[in-house]
Amino acid sequence: MQKRSAGLLLFRHTADGTEVLLGHMGGPYFAKKDAGAWTVPKGEYEPDESAWDAARREFREELGLEPPDGEALALGEVRQTNGKIVTVWAIEADLDPATVDPGTFTMEWPPRSGRVQEFPELDRVAWCGVRRAREVIVTAQAAFLDRLAEHSP
């Protein structure tokens, strides 16, 4: 069965232009990476859950905060190189990255060591201008930035 993820892309308008809130993926594989290591806060869901409900649940789990209210702009779907289908909505809102309390995951690290360690889902969260976001976001997710620009002044 094909994996599916859903998420919320927060955006805000500043004097310098539109900014989006991205998270840097946690864990040892992404620790020293920048390009391609930032993502819309999102997560997987099962067929019995709606993508919208999953996006809101994953926002809570990944950031430790309630998702903001506001008009949700459907940005559609993309297929990432790993085959996963990602569905995203954009919401105009402000959030202080210092208030984020990320969820965690466990994995064996180092590989084949028998040691299980806990890592944050997102090890940091930051507001990025659209140009910077395009440089660091997971490649397929850049389409969401284009679609957001179609809705923004």
What is the DSSP code (8-state) at residue 99?
G
CA 76/CA 89 separation, integer angstroms: 7
pTM of this structure: 0.94
Structure tokens, 77: 């779907």
In this prediction, what percent of the chain has a pLDDT beyond 90? 97
Whole-number pLDDT of residue 134 = 97
CA 151/CA 137 separation, integer angstroms: 19
Which ranges of the chain have pLDDT less than 50? none
Whole-number pLDDT of residue 138 = 96
Whole-number pLDDT of residue 26 = 95
What would the 3-class secondary structure string for 33-53 be? CCCCCEECCEEECCCCCCHHH
Whole-number pLDDT of residue 83 = 93
Query: What are the distances in angstroms from CA 64 to CA 78, 97, 98, 150?
Result: 25, 11, 11, 30
